[in-house]
Structure 1
Amino acid sequence: MPYTLSAPVHSESLIKKSRFIGCVEPMADRASALRRVAALRAAHPGATHVCWALMAGGHSAANDDGEPGGTAGRPMLEVLRHQDLEGVLATVVRYYGGTPLGAGGLVRAYTDSVAQALLQADKVPVVRWRALRCVLPYALEGWLRRELDGHGARLVEALHGDGVTVSLQVPEPQAEALVTRLNDAGQGRVVWLEEASDRDEA
């Protein structure tokens, strides 16, 4: 089961006078990650490198930011993969201390920065949600609202017209049971409007 993080966590280390400031944090997508990296560059104008790795939406990305190829972003990404993380951005800000670390030393430094931060992180399971939409009789609206909690589901929208058009987000493992309960309660009066679509979320 994939996991994400509940909150950002930081680490800091000093290796041969080079300062490494690591961070792992929940991140929805690449665009958000790039904004975060840009903010880090602005916050650390004297840093030599701001390297990062992202696992989000089933896609991965890594950037060495001027370090020798494969010594920063890719090793950081492997740490995220190894811990089965999804929707997580890892960043490491490096202030160069004047002593080269060599390729192996760099890989260890960037890997350890991410790993040390993850040791303190609160990991939470990623829930796969199914979107459901249907029209039901007014008499069933109150019943449905009470029923949602028992299935860990949430009401996204309720539109009142000839009937009540509801949009729901339901955890994937609970979706079929809720559909069955609704159909039974509606006795043929519940109209399903569209195919469900899946998405991941913490």
Structure 2
Amino acid sequence: MPYTLQAPVQSELVIKKSRFLGCVESVPDRAAALARVAQRRTEHPGATHVCWALMAGGHSAANDDGEPGGTAGRPMLEVLRHQDLEGVLATVVRYYGGTPLGAGGLVRAYTDSVAQALLKAEKTPVVRHQMLHCVLPYALEGWLRRELDTHSASLVDVTHGEGVSATLRVPEAQAAALVGRINDAGQGKVVWLGGQDDVDG
């Protein structure tokens, strides 16, 4: 089961006068991750490198930001992979201390920066959701709103026309039970629209 992080966690290493400031945090997608990397650059204008690794939406990405190829982003990504993380960005800001660390030293420094931050991080399971779309009689709207809580579901959108068109966000594990409950209550008067969209997070 994949996990994400409850809150951002930081670490700091000093190796031969180089400072490595690690951070691990949850992000919804690549666009948010790139925005966060840009923010880290702004926060540390004097930094030599801002390297990062991302696991999100089943995709991965890594960036060495000028460090020798394969010595920063890729090792950071491997740490995330081994922890079975999803929707997590790792960044490491490096202030160069004047002494080269060599390829092996860099790999260890970037790996340790991420690993130390993750040791302090609180993980939470990723709950996958589905979006359900239905039209139901007005008489059932109040019942539906009460029923959603018992299935950890939420009402994303509702429009009123000939019937009540509702878009529901429900954990995958609860979807079938909720559909069954709605169908029972609707006694054949509930119309399901389109497919059931898979949504992460």
Query: What is the TM-score when the length of structure 2 is the normalising length?
Result: 0.98
Cα deviation code 1:53-96 (max 9, x no counterpart)? 00111110000111111110000000001001011100000011
1:9 counterpart letter in structure 2:
V
CA distance in 2, matches of 1:29, 1:158: 26
Displacement after TM superposition at 1:197 (Å) = 0.6
Report the Cα offset of residue 45 of structure 1.
1.5
Q: Which residue does the alignment assign to 1:128? A: 128
> d(CA) in 1 for partners of 2:48 and 2:100?
13
| CA deviation map 1:146-189 (0-9, x unaligned) | 11111110011121111111110010011011111111111100
Segments of 5+ residues of structure 2 without an aligned counterpart are none
Shift of 1:6: 1.5
Report whether the alignment pairs 1:78 with 2:78. Answer: yes
Shift of 1:10: 0.4
How many residues of Structure 1 are paired with residues of Structure 2 in the alignment? 201
Query: What is the rounded CA distance, in whole Å, between the counterparts of 2:196 and 2:188 in structure 1?
Result: 19
- Provide the residue aligned with 1:142 in structure 2: 142
Residue in 1 that maps onto 2:173: 173
- State the alpha-carbon separation in 1 of the partners of residues 102 and 131 from structure 2: 50
Structure 1 segments of 4+ aligned residues over 2 angstroms from their partners = none
Tell me the alpha carbon deviations over residues 107-135 of structure 1, each in whole angstroms, 9 at most, x when there is no partner.
11000100111111111111111100111
Q: Please list, as runs of the form range in 1=range in 2, the aligned pairs for 1:89-108 lying within 5 A after superposition.
A: 89-108=89-108
Q: Does 1:195 align with 2:195?
A: yes
* Counterparts of 1:195 and 1:108, CA distance in 2: 47
CA distance in 2, matches of 1:43, 1:143: 49
1:41 deviation in Å?
Answer: 1.4
Looking at structure 1, the residues matched to 145 and 191 of structure 2 have their Cα atoms a distance apart, in angstroms, of: 17
Mapped partners of 2:140, 2:29: distance in 1:
38
CA distance in 2 between counterparts of 1:34 and 1:152 reads 31
Distance in 2 between residues matched to 1:144 and 1:40, nearest whole Å: 44
